[in-house]
Amino acid sequence: MQGLLLAGRYRLAESIGSGGMGRVWRAHDEVLHRAVAIKELTAALYVSESDQPRLLARTRAEARAAARINHSAVVTVHDVLEHDGRPWIVMELVEGNSLADEVKEQGRIEPAEAARIGMWVLRALRAAHAAGVLHRDVKPGNVLLGQDGRVLLTDFGIAQIEGDSTITRTGEVVGSVDYLAPERVRGADPGPSSDLWALGATLYTAVEGRSPFRRTSPLSTMQAVVEEEAGELRYAGPLAPVIAALLNKDPDLRPNADQTEHMLAEAAEGRRPRSAEEWLPTQRVGSRAESFTDTPGTGATPYPGTGPTPYPGTGATPYTGTGAPSYASATGGTYQQHTPPVSLVGPGGAAPAPPKRRRFRSVVLVVVLAALVGGGTALGLQKWNQDRDQGGTPGASASQSSTPSSAPSTDPAANWRTYHDPWGFDISLPKGWVRTVYSDSGGIKQVDYTPDKGEHFVRIAIDPSPDFPTANAHQLDLEVQLQRLVDYRRVTLEANTYRDRPGSLWDYTWTAQAKDTPFPGPRRAIEETYTSRDGIEYAIYMSAPAADWATTSKQFKSVLQSWSPDSG
């Protein structure tokens, strides 16, 4: 393709980078006699015909989004042209590295320089937000460092433009997993503070040389974003409190753009921003010898819980299209931050105790994985989820083998057996159902039994330290997340008594999408959740196609009757 002439004026030279959706070329504008960068939408060559219009719309939206922003820190878009049935974006050519390249080559960036870079990215974001554009994929790979000292933000490929109709699927989460704000992992609509969170994560990567939340899998990375604090800042110096403030789990408690720029300006001069202290109410300022813990009785600001992100899935293979582009550049002593104790005393004179941090207890966490299309993520998720759909999870395998049955049995007396689960409970199910560990992390265990690789299945979730006061409160919190499902409808959700213990029964329907599962169509699920005398929360969940519900509902009653945990 080298030497190809596009639109009669742009001649391609060499490829200077590629990402999940596109390839970037150095090119020459033979009309204006200048060097330019051209992004080719390569993803359109490999996705299904039904996905191509959405990818094309997303590319055009990138050009429109960037064109709305007039700022020296935003890469200029010169033109959008059609060739070979695909749009190509002609952009300003920036000679230099991306921040990701720079970190990879140097190991990490000095705090003062990182603060300077952050100031320019922030100015680009402020200009974008003022124009009604959210970037939604701020990360080191999208920050360009020009040889002339300029810092530019690029790749508005998944930007959201105020007033435009959505070009993403219902419930879709876009962006690179490492840099998604917690509220976005939960499925909430992004706002300017979500871009600021991503800036904080980007600055963390710059000064520490590693992503703050990246783990061994997309799921564990998302769990870390929602549940865990960023790792210890060893090299951030005066930038440490600014990063910590931006990475607040609660978007309402993050500094805004003006406040952030003021703090970054101080850090760029090598001064620890005094104003940053007000954004860190749960920490203390002190010497290097102090530990990063709250002092009992200080009334630390409660951790803003984020709750689980459920999806009543089917053990389905997720969307396997390519992701949003990851821009390639145009050239191819322990330190712990603290702030003074802040007493938050309630009307009764007592300081409120911080609540326990909520963990993921997903009914089935497939929709988030299926929807993550940013930065080539969907391609990376394909193998991870295929392993699970073939009867296992990463690091786990089925504990027994059998030939899958096409139709679950309806007669417990004739064809059922008791399964003595190694996690400490007995349950009766039709013979031939296969046990698969779904997850065992964060203190929550989840195990599946299925006869047909997930079209019909039972899931047992065990949480020895529940985050909610009642099972009903937990299910109501989960239901908030399910509102994003297509055709979600509550059949019932009400508190009850199960095994002489307070519980809650939840029954609902939705329509599973072919893009997310090999079992599309109307589905139904039912879940009994209760807390045992030992304080352990158990969730007994069953899901099947809606057409099979007459059989499934009978099976669920038999499952509840047979349930016998060690803890009572």
Mark whether 119 and 252 lie in a shared domain. Answer: yes
Q: Is 312 within the bounds of a domain?
A: no
pLDDT for 233: 94
> For residue 58, is it left (φ>0), alpha (ψ between -120 and 50) or beta?
alpha
Mark whether 441 and 492 lie in a shared domain. Answer: yes
pLDDT for 506: 95
From the CB of residue 193, how many other CB atoms can be counted at a distance below 10 Å? Answer: 20
From the CB of residue 503, how many other CB atoms can be counted at a distance below 10 Å? Answer: 22
Contact, 548 vs 527, CB < 8 A? no
Q: Is 226 within the bounds of a domain?
A: yes
Q: Residue 82 carries which side chain, given as an amino acid letter?
A: E
Neighbouring residues of 169: CB distance < 8 A, sequence distance ≥ 6: 54, 371, 513, 515
Mark whether 54 and 151 lie in a shared domain. Answer: no
pLDDT mean values, one per 10 residues, the chain (568 residues): 88 82 87 92 63 70 75 88 82 92 94 97 94 88 93 75 42 66 86 95 96 85 89 93 94 93 94 75 36 29 28 31 28 28 32 42 40 31 32 33 38 74 92 88 84 92 88 88 85 93 94 84 95 92 94 94 82
pLDDT for 321: 30
Neighbouring residues of 158: CB distance < 8 A, sequence distance ≥ 6: 58, 62, 136, 137, 168, 174, 175, 324, 373, 374
Q: What is the CATH number of the domain that holds 535?
A: 3.40.1000.10
Q: What is the CATH number of the domain that holds 117?
A: 1.10.510.10
Q: Is 292 within the bounds of a domain?
A: no
Domain that holds residue 42: 5-92
Nearest 10 degrees: CA dihedral of 319, 321, 324, 327? Answer: 140
Q: Is 84 within the bounds of a domain?
A: yes
Angle CA 369–373–376, to nearest 5: 110
Contact, 29 vs 38, CB < 8 A? no
Mark whether 270 and 147 lie in a shared domain. Answer: yes
Mark whether 459 and 546 lie in a shared domain. Answer: yes
What order of strands is seen across the sheet that includes strand 77-83? 5-6, 10-18, 23-29, 34-40, 86-92, 77-83
Contact, 426 vs 410, CB < 8 A? no
Mark whether 141 and 204 lie in a shared domain. Answer: yes
- Last residue within a domain, chosen from 92, 111, 137: 92
Neighbouring residues of 130: CB distance < 8 A, sequence distance ≥ 6: none
pLDDT for 519: 87
Q: Is 472 within the bounds of a domain?
A: yes
Q: From CA 198, how far away is CA 190, in angstroms rounded?
A: 11
Question: For the chain, first and last CA: distance in Å?
Answer: 68
Mark whether 167 and 20 lie in a shared domain. Answer: no
Mark whether 83 and 110 lie in a shared domain. Answer: no
Q: What is the CATH number of the domain that holds 19?
A: 3.30.200.20
- Last residue within a domain, chosen from 40, 61, 92: 92
Number of domains in the chain: 3
What are the CA-CA distances from residue 245 to residues 185, 207, 253 (Å)?
19, 15, 8
Structure tokens at 386: 């295929």
Q: How many residues comprise the chain?
A: 568
Q: Is 74 within the bounds of a domain?
A: yes
Active-site amino acid positions:
137
The β-bridge relationship of strands 501-512 and 143-146 is: unpaired
Output DSSP code: residue 294.
Answer: P
- Last residue within a domain, chosen from 48, 63, 92: 92
Mark whether 207 and 256 lie in a shared domain. Answer: yes
Mark whether 87 and 135 lie in a shared domain. Answer: no
What are the CA-CA distances from residue 521 to residues 137, 408, 455, 509, 545 (Å)?
32, 19, 11, 11, 7
Q: Is 335 within the bounds of a domain?
A: no
Mark whether 107 and 56 lie in a shared domain. Answer: no
Mark whether 11 and 144 lie in a shared domain. Answer: no
Q: Is 295 within the bounds of a domain?
A: no
